[in-house]
A = this chain, B = another copy of it.
Amino acid sequence: MKHVALSEAWTGVADCKNCTIRNAVLFAGLKETDFDALHRPIDQIVYPAGAQIYGTGDEAKTLFTVRSGLVKLTQYLPDGTQRIVRLLHQTDLFGLEALIEDAYPHTATALHDTELCRLPVDVVRDLSRASSGLYHELMARWHRALSSADRWITEFSTGSSRDRVVRLLLWLSEPEDGGRCALFSREDLGAVLGLTTETASRTMAELKRHGFISEPKPNQIVCDTVRLRRLVDG
């Protein structure tokens, strides 16, 4: 993987009240008055594809919400093998570990150009003392994170390479663009699915040959979702 400088671009203090994805994000349940109590700023920030957002062991003082783009969380085995353990996209919250622990347990990296909101963890703690609706929302986030972990195991770590790739493509296409989805490198594709880069590449080639998918531009995939689903639902 080509090295990308750790770079970020601050794009201003977030205007949460008028956030376009607000009804899906963490503060969805907050009343106007609660917002006014937010004296600490929530930043918006942009990471280019490939940039590291935080590393394993970094001090955890911030929660992140994905406004756009795609983020991977990576974990390492002692022998250096790395495995992507989660993918986050729009409205997903990550770094929740900051609520509990001092250091992040993952390395977080932008896979596509990515816009994030940064919430200082103590802002959330302050709010929590007052608003118990936020607690419920937070709990729901934990729950969602855990559900995707389960799905990750059953769908992306089980079965043949073909089934795994197909399930991932279907998952990436879920946001409904008529089967269109933006993929990332074959290397990351392999790391998501526990396969080698070569197997990931071969499997994609095979799917193309049979007309299940096409790739008009590199990493722009168009899926025949109906036929793909038949492949794995059987």
Residues of A in contact with B (beta carbons under 8 Å apart): 75-79, 81, 83, 85-86, 96-97, 99-101, 105-106, 128-129, 132, 135, 138-140, 142-143, 145-147, 149-150, 152-155, 157-159, 194, 232-234
Q: Do A194 and B85 contact each other (CB < 8 Å), given the known contacts A105-B150, A135-B135, A146-B145?
A: no
Partner among B97, B146, B153 whose Cβ is within 8 Å of the Cβ of A157: B153
Taking a contact as CB atoms under 8 Å apart, the answer to whether B139 and A83 are in contact is no
| Copies of this chain present | 2
Taking a contact as CB atoms under 8 Å apart, the answer to whether B154 and A83 are in contact is yes
Partner among B77, B139, B150 whose Cβ is within 8 Å of the Cβ of A75: B150
3 tightest Cβ-Cβ pairs between the two chains A and B: A149-B149, A142-B142, A157-B157
Complex-state Cα separation, A96 to B83, whole angstroms? 26
Taking a contact as CB atoms under 8 Å apart, the answer to whether B85 and A153 are in contact is yes
A50 to chain B, nearest CB (A): 22
Chain B residues in 8 Å Cβ range of A139? 99-100, 138-139, 142
Taking a contact as CB atoms under 8 Å apart, the answer to whether B149 and A234 are in contact is no
Partner among B100, B149, B158 whose Cβ is within 8 Å of the Cβ of A143: B100
Partner among B105, B128, B152, B153 whose Cβ is within 8 Å of the Cβ of A147: B105
Taking a contact as CB atoms under 8 Å apart, the answer to whether A154 and B100 are in contact is no
Q: Do A79 and B150 contact each other (CB < 8 Å), given the known contacts A128-B135, A135-B135, A142-B139?
A: no
Chain B residues in 8 Å Cβ range of A78? 232-233
Chain B residues in 8 Å Cβ range of A76? 154
Closest residue on chain B to residue A80 by CB atoms: B234
Chain B residues in 8 Å Cβ range of A105? 147, 150
Taking a contact as CB atoms under 8 Å apart, the answer to whether A150 and B81 are in contact is no
Complex-state Cα separation, A83 to B152, whole angstroms? 11
A78 to chain B, nearest CB (A): 5
A80 to chain B, nearest CB (A): 10
Taking a contact as CB atoms under 8 Å apart, the answer to whether A77 and B145 are in contact is no
Taking a contact as CB atoms under 8 Å apart, the answer to whether A140 and B77 are in contact is no
Chain B residues in 8 Å Cβ range of A128? 132, 135
Taking a contact as CB atoms under 8 Å apart, the answer to whether A159 and B100 are in contact is no
